[in-house]
Structure 1
Amino acid sequence: MDTIVIGAGQSGLAAACALRDAGRTPVILEAGHTPTGSWSSYYDSLTLFSPARYSALPGQDFPGDGDHYPTRDEVVAYLQRYADSLDVEIRTGTHVTAVAADGSGGFLVHTAAGDTLRAMGVIAASGSFGNPYIPALPGQDDYTGQALHVADYRNPKHYAGRRVVVVGAGNSAVQVGYELAEVATVTLATRQLIQFMPQFIGGKDVHYWHTTTGFDSLPPHWLARIATGTPVLDTGDYAASLEAGRWDRRPMFTAFDGHEIIWADGEREHVDTVIYATGYLPHLDYLAPLGALDANGLPLHDSGISTTHLGLGYVGLEFQRSFASNTLRRVYQDAEHVTAPLAAHASKSLAAYSL
């Protein structure tokens, strides 16, 4: 094959589009049964933090009012339509278990079904939903309450009347904590104060300013200089709800003990459910046999281009090249950057192979 793209979420579809535009013939392998990535597995009430006009892939506008905030199901439908319009081969239900070198500059891609596919190039666009991060805390394994990552949370109906602690200070933690507060007693446990950012500045959505000022394209090393935490976009409801005492925020607890947690000040409290909204790590375990990952399982790359193997690239990594690298509005730019050298490599390799 020319180039195999692993994953058919927004990153994989963007990568395939960029490869197609570069004259290549990509094949997408997707573990799920639809070419929509992990979107259908997110919690029911999830809405994008960016308006529809800033939430589209190239060549297909997001339908509806450009100023509305698309729901999870709208994104799923959009990605399905986008996949249908790409005119590239997409194999769903194909779980990649390992990628290895073939000894001649290409790759062998092994699947759970026992198939081995050979390709000149590979783009890992499998996202991170399959690798949720949960911090390690003393007593965690013996906690007798319910503990889950937000990846496994769907809606608040099962938490009515419970004491719930949500761990995290980002957008998902606040959104989930806010809706749970309608039916449960909720605290956000965080290592720093929640940093609310207004959704509208000067009458325009903050994403208008992100795009027009160039903030979206700032390289990661510049972001490291100015970042002071994770901003939570707020139309005013979240901060007002917190100030009104509908839910609260406390410094992160230090340990579990049976059915209790131990707060930073030493107080013990019986807690029914702990929900970790603590983010995700790249889901790339299938690249371990290739030697493309560091000791922590993170990819060795420069702006998405592998530093260990010619012909290997990544699309959809957080802060891969910019603040918005793994978002619908910016992922194609990263895909273009990665596919240019991969397309050249695949072209040379296929030409040599044909000889």
Structure 2
Amino acid sequence: MGDVDVAVIGSGQSGLATAHALLRKGLRPVVLEASERTAGSWPRYYDSLTLFSPARYSSLPGMPFPGGDPDRYPHRDEVIAYLTAYAARLDADIRTHSHVTAVHADGPGFVLDLKGGSRLAARAVVAASGTFGRPHRPELPGLEQFTGTVLHAAGYRRPQPFAGQRVIVVGAGNSAVQIAAELAPTAQVTLTSRHPVKFARPRILGRDLHFWLKRTGIDTVPLGRLLRTPPTQLVIDDGRYRDAVAAGAPDRRELFTAIEGGKVTWPDGSTEEADTILLATGYRPDLPYLARLGALDDTGHPLHRDGVSSVHPGLTFAGLEWQRSLASNSLRGVGRDAAWVARHLAVHLSRT
């Protein structure tokens, strides 16, 4: 059981950016990745996923997003290749097949239990395991009684298995709209949610929306301190999705009011059979390994301020949604959070 400066749990964008920042502070991070590759959850996202930020705004610190038009919107496989290359260039100890099952306090530091029985002692820990492993399944009227298929977007890959089906996609964010529009040519699809879809144009006055977010400073406003709940997610759309919804492919309805067997009841009282309900309802922090530390609230969310644990100062978080700013868990913004975490840990470890 060897001692390390900082154990970083997860090798997605947050873990890699944090490792980069820690190295710049002269610390020795060990990055622990449960899977067989260093690209976080990206290989498990649906095949057609594209970023809603252009390549020029989708880089981690120290390595621009490569190739092609910098104003293009990279697709999933490009992001996987980019993160894999970033990890390869990073002078850090990255250990795949290293699934952390529990973290224990050990004096001022920590001991990490790994699947298979090995243990690792670390002076500090960064939880950068993201959210993909904990899909959010909200309480919806009658959902538990539905006799068809209930699937979360985490399990969706491509439209072909749903050909000819009646599919209801629940959600109002980017993934919900993208998946519903992709399914519409091969299935009868309804997009439904409690709140309306809010579309935003990707370009304003000839400039990409993210240029204005950066130029005005909105991207770095400390929303984590100012807002109790995050704002409604905007769907970045050049017009194709708005037009598709207007044409009824998919159609848009308010959330169903009941389910009985395979039948869904809509707010107007009409009912119909459905084959699949697909939940594009987001994710929650995936931090089961911290349960014994008392570092989580009753819902499994971390107790923290700006990414620093309120319970253990040597425990930090990277890439949480709204951790510090609008862009906290995005490729374009996670570098700022990573730098903040590294600065905190450098000071903390100098005192312990």
TM-score (norm 1): 0.95
Counterpart of 1:194 in structure 2 is: 197
Q: CA contact under 8 A between 1:218 and 1:323: conserved in structure 2? A: yes
Contact 2:230 2:322 in 1 (8 A): no
Task: Say if 1:137 and 1:256, in contact at 8 Å, map to a contact too.
Answer: no
User: Matched residues in 1 for 2:317 and 2:5: separation?
Assistant: 16
**Equivalent residue for 2:127, pick from 124, 128, 132:** 124
Q: Which runs of 5+ in 2 are unaligned?
A: none
Q: Which contiguous aligned blocks of 4+ residues in structure 1 show a shift greater than 3 angstroms? A: 221-228
Task: After TM superposition, list the pairs within 5 Å mapping 1:144-159 onto structure 2.
Answer: 144-159=147-162
Q: Report the AA paired with residue 57 of structure 1.
A: L
CA RMSD in angstroms comes to: 1.5
Q: 1:228 to 1:292 in 2, by over 3 A?
A: closer
- Provide closer, same or farther for how the CA distance between residues 274 and 223 of structure 1 changes in structure 2, counting only shifts above 3 A: farther
Q: Distance in 2 between matches of 1:258 and 1:67?
A: 47
Q: Structure 2: how far apart are the matches of 1:141 and 1:192?
A: 22
Q: Distance in 2 between matches of 1:267 and 1:93?
A: 50
Aligned to 2:100: 96
Match of 1:180 in 2: 183
Indicate the residue corresponding to 1:43 in structure 2.
46
Aligned to 2:91: 87
- The answer on whether the counterparts of 1:105 and 1:310 sit within 8 Å (CA) in structure 2 is no
Query: Partner of 2:8 in structure 1?
Result: 5
- Seen in structure 2, the aligned counterparts of structure 1 residues 244 and 41 have a Cα distance that, compared at 3 Å, is same
Pick aligned residue for 1:220 from 198, 219, 223: 223
Alignment of 1:291-302 (within 5 A): 291-302=294-305
Specify the code of the residue in structure 2 equivalent to 1:137.
L
**Identity rate of aligned residues, in percent?**
54
Q: Classify the secondary structure of the residue corresponding to 1:11.
A: helix
SS of aligned partner of 2:139 = coil
Distance 1:221 1:115 in 2: 36
Equivalent residue number for residue 237 of structure 1:
240
Number of matched residues?
348
| Amino acid corresponding to residue 87 of structure 2 in structure 1 | A
Q: 1:80 corresponds to which letter in structure 2?
A: T
SS in 2 for 1:324: coil
Structure 1 runs not aligned, ≥5 long? 350-355
Out of 26, 40, 50, the position equivalent to 1:23 is 26
Give the Å deviation of 1:268. Answer: 2.0
Q: Partners of 2:229 and 2:130 in 1: how far apart?
A: 26
Check the 8 A contact 2:172/2:193 in 1, yes or no: yes
User: What SS does the aligned partner of 1:120 have?
Assistant: strand
What is the TM-score normalised by the length of structure 2?
A: 0.96
Displacement of 1:219 in angstroms is: 1.7
C-alpha offsets along residues 180-212 of structure 1, whole Å, 9 cap, x if unaligned? 011111111111111110111111111111111
Match of 1:353 in 2: none
